[in-house]
Amino acid sequence: MLSGYRLMWMMVIFDLPVLTKPQRRAANKFRQFLLDQGFGMCQLSVYMRFCGGKEQAEVYTRRVQSALPRAGNVQILYFTDKQYENIVSFNGPVRRPPNRNPQQYALF
């Protein structure tokens, strides 16, 4: 049974150097990699992805690890679908509606 306490979200947050052209290229390549892996951009250096559980999140963690740039800091946070529902977001001073979870879980 699918449960909001078993379904997971991954958040990849990073601070990559962008002082030189090769560094900017590496940072952009990493961002594009995350998009290609199904992550959505929340902010320039914050990407999120829905996962069917801890095992799938671990698979994506290994993929992210294999694509890390040579320099910079990258952290991965995990939280349940129920916790995701409780994220509070603002657009300027205006509170945005609560996050909506995917309508259905797609099995590949």
The pLDDT value given to residue 34: 98
Spatial separation of the C-alpha atoms in residues 69 and 79, rounded to whole Å = 25
Whole-model pTM: value is 0.84
The pLDDT value given to residue 17: 97
The DSSP symbol for 97 reads P
The pLDDT value given to residue 103: 57
Helices (H), 1-108: 21-36, 54-66, 81-85
55/81: higher pLDDT: 55
Token pair of 78 as six digits: 């995990």
Query: Among 28-42, 46-60, 86-100, which is the least confidently predicted range?
Result: 86-100
Token pair of 7 as six digits: 């379904």
